[in-house]
Chains A and B, each alone.
Chain A
């Protein structure tokens, strides 16, 4: 009888732990069993960098195609590992991140290239360096490394400068604090962080206060966010892949068309608001800023026609050639045996990395005439 209270308490604790575990486990899908469940693994946190997928999810384009899509944010998981192991069926990453895997024998393949231009820039403050159009000898250049540094290395080499990069954190404090001359910044993300930073009391930095070198204006712009799948899974689920691609193209078309908000910082029927409601990893203002910048990378031009929207996701072989040649020269994992991987990357052909048949088949068939009928309801 003395042992009863102890047994009772430990039994209750165990039962409550089991209840918590059961609550966390995925529940039964109620009702609809016709929707195919797929998972999409993102490269980074929930932000407008992936606005096309969020638009397709929130506005119901995936459901129209018979898919139940779960979008998983990145940052801690490797998206390459997630798709290879089967945890996710679709993933998005930079082409320069995908190619080393393919060169080492992985069965992944890219099926759409949503980002037509590179969003990488290097930024310096005019207050510190004066007005500059290029990097000069002796100036420190920063990058986050881990696969983001190839364009910078190629750019510095094209200027004849030494290819020494300083490691940069994920905020812009090193640039703003003066410890770094030139910092890497994505047009849609870190550049916005600088523009939101205070130059002096109450006054923010503007583009006129900054020297910005856009990698897409140079010869060394590389391909960035693509959509990739495991080719073995894709070969057995071709209809699912095509359905996902159709809905994603429609999602990106809507996201690019509605990227400009009526008023920055105010919620409305725009992509930034949609992404902010789906994932508030950054502020509404920043999501809207990011959406307007990403749209410039996905579709060229301000007045975009419907046929331009149908070209979203196009895979261009000449862009691939630039990416391949830079990566084959500069790929590094910090080891002496990289030479073998670089040689393998150099031998990858366009069709080793990109499988265009799905996109060629579906992109014109996607009906993009009725986009205005989809209004984002907050």
Chain B
């Protein structure tokens, strides 16, 4: 049979091997393209029940609209979210930098402090539970309420500090709870193994509990990417002495009816979040190669 001659069979096998590695990425790209096509042609507007003015287009689009009362026809050009982003690339990157300065530092500090609280809770059991409860209660307050409160306290004199504090608070609790769970969930045979090797409690803590807490720590880090981004964005929206930062520029665009700009900033925030998540996932892959979640399915 011609189809399965030796050279063809090898090509088919190679194709199937390559396809197996990239098929999920290809489907994803196709889906994104489909959404953009639906969006640009206006089908998405019809599906969601939005008018062309309510939802801006990804690329430049000119359309006419008829005034229902006067019958007058006007031609309107929407700049398009992507075109806007490229036209204002410098401003957007500058504001992203301002936000990232608070975001990354707050994220890392929040993770460190949260892990420290979990360590405290594990080592000193009597006070530990109390610390965790306080943290959980503190972060149960919605960020939308917490951000203006903290801005009022010291947002006008130290806007950067206010942003940092919000991110730290929101990231701490998630990390503390997850790390505590990781530090205190010991597989039975691991504990026994440490006893067999006559390890001191300090050694068994460092060699057994700390590595065992890493998977939970990475879970918390991944969740905290979204939490930190939300917190810093909202904190910047409510700041009134500064004019820079993604949240602030987003709010100015929103207030002056520039929806294209507002959407561009939303997309930028999403992309930043995705990049951060990808970085954390990559580090996780290398750091906890031994864990069940990193097994190739």
Q: Is the CB of A352 closer than 8 A to any CB of chain B?
A: yes
- A232/B68 contact (C-beta < 8 A), A333-B261, A341-B258, A352-B74 known: yes
Interface string of B51-88 (1 = CB under 8 A from A): 11110000000010101111010101111000010011
Q: Is the CB of B201 closer than 8 A to any CB of chain A?
A: no
Would you mind naming 21 contact pairs between A and B with Cβ atoms under 8 Å apart? A80-B257, A84-B53, A104-B259, A105-B63, A105-B74, A107-B65, A109-B67, A145-B252, A147-B256, A169-B156, A169-B241, A170-B240, A231-B67, A234-B68, A332-B256, A333-B252, A333-B258, A335-B84, A335-B88, A337-B84, A340-B77
Q: Is the CB of B249 closer than 8 A to any CB of chain A?
A: yes
Interface residues of A in 329-372 (CB under 8 A from B): 331-338, 340-341, 344, 351-352, 355, 357
- A78/B68 contact (C-beta < 8 A), A167-B241, A335-B91, A340-B77 known: no
4 new A-B contacts at CB < 8 Å, known A107-B67, A107-B68, A169-B240: A105-B52, A234-B69, A335-B258, A337-B87
Q: Is the CB of B154 closer than 8 A to any CB of chain A?
A: no
A100 to B78 CA separation, bound complex (whole angstroms): 12
Residues of B that sit less than 8 Å from A by CB: 51-54, 63, 65, 67-70, 72, 74, 76-79, 84, 87-88, 91, 156, 240-241, 243, 249, 251-261
Q: Is the CB of A6 closer than 8 A to any CB of chain B?
A: no
Q: Is the CB of A240 closer than 8 A to any CB of chain B?
A: no
Q: Is the CB of A235 closer than 8 A to any CB of chain B?
A: yes
Interface string of A152-190 (1 = CB under 8 A from B): 000000000000000101100000000000000000000
Q: Is the CB of A106 closer than 8 A to any CB of chain B?
A: yes
* Contact for B257 among A97, A232, A352, CB less than 8 A: A97
B254: chain A residues at CB < 8 Å are 78
A2 to B76 CA separation, bound complex (whole angstroms): 68
Contact B252 A231 (CB under 8 A): no
Closest to A106 in B: B53
B70 to chain A, nearest CB (A): 6
B241: chain A residues at CB < 8 Å are 167, 169
- A357/B69 contact (C-beta < 8 A), A331-B256, A337-B84 known: yes
- A335/B253 contact (C-beta < 8 A), A105-B63, A231-B69, A357-B69 known: yes
B140 to chain A, nearest CB (A): 16
A146: chain B residues at CB < 8 Å are 251-252, 255-256
Contact B261 A235 (CB under 8 A): no
* Contact for B54 among A84, A235, A331, A352, CB less than 8 A: A84
* Contact for B70 among A103, A338, A351, CB less than 8 A: A351
A99 to B294 CA separation, bound complex (whole angstroms): 55
B246 to chain A, nearest CB (A): 12
A147: chain B residues at CB < 8 Å are 255-256
A107 to B67 CA separation, bound complex (whole angstroms): 7
B91: chain A residues at CB < 8 Å are 334-336
Q: Is the CB of A325 closer than 8 A to any CB of chain B?
A: no
A123 to B173 CA separation, bound complex (whole angstroms): 47
A72 to chain B, nearest CB (A): 18
A333 to chain B, nearest CB (A): 4
Closest to A355 in B: B69
* Contact for B69 among A105, A169, A170, A235, CB less than 8 A: A235
A357 to B71 CA separation, bound complex (whole angstroms): 13
